[in-house]
Amino acid sequence: MSVTGFIFLGLVAVIIIYLIAIYNGLVTLKHNVSKAWANIDVLLKQRHDELPKLVETCKQYMKYEQETLEKVMKARTSVATAQQQGNIPALGQAEGALRMGLGSLFAVAEAYPELKADQTFQHLQARITGLENAIADRREFYNESVNVNNVRIEQVPDVFIARMFNFQAHSLLEFVDEEKTDVNIGHLFK
């Protein structure tokens, strides 16, 4: 074999290795998005399990606040449904409603000194607040993973490999407009 043949084979080998590296990078990104979603999913399930305990504890004290408790449970159901369906846009909306409901619930709880002093309520409030903070952190990581994936599958030369092997873009977990604004809890104390 001539020198030109070795150069040609070497060039083909380099191109193949480069294409394999692109493919492997895209696979890694795809699995990072899945892992980030799984991390959120675990926290959502934990919070889902804690909310009925919180509502039940509150019911013992808040006899006149049924509407607030019902909003939290309805939002909890919406989050679970969107989560089971893998519907990221619906999950973002349901999460917003749930966070607003929890904010209202905690604000209304201020009017019930016995409830605020209850050890179970304090524990559940701290647990759910901790879960909310962890979910917010994981949302950020999920959205970053989705962004990196979506950018890579649109860039040249990765776009060719992505199309060839049907790599898909993922949806960001976005917040509803109400969740981005300041919460007005003044109406709860009238």
Q: Is-contact 54 125, C-beta < 8 A?
A: yes
Cα angle 48, 53, 56; round to 5: 125
pLDDT at residue 189, rounded to an integer: 37
Separation between Cα atoms, residue 190 and residue 188, nearest integer Å = 6
Tell me the two tokens of residue 53.
């305990």
pLDDT at 176 (0 to 100): 64
DSSP class of residue 181?
A: S
According to the model, what pLDDT value does residue 180 have? Answer: 46
Per CATH, the homologous superfamily of domain 3-189 is LemA-like domain (1.20.1440.20)
Q: What is the mean pLDDT of residues 7-29?
A: 96
pLDDT in tens, 118-150: 888 889 999 999 999 999 999 999 999 999 999
**Is residue 62 predicted with pLDDT exceeding 90?**
no
Q: Give backbone dihedrals phi and psi of 54, rounded to 5 degrees, phi first.
A: -65, -45
What's the pTM value of the predicted model, to 2 decimals? 0.77
Residue 148's pLDDT is 97
Closest to 63 (Cα-Cα) out of 98, 115, 120: 115
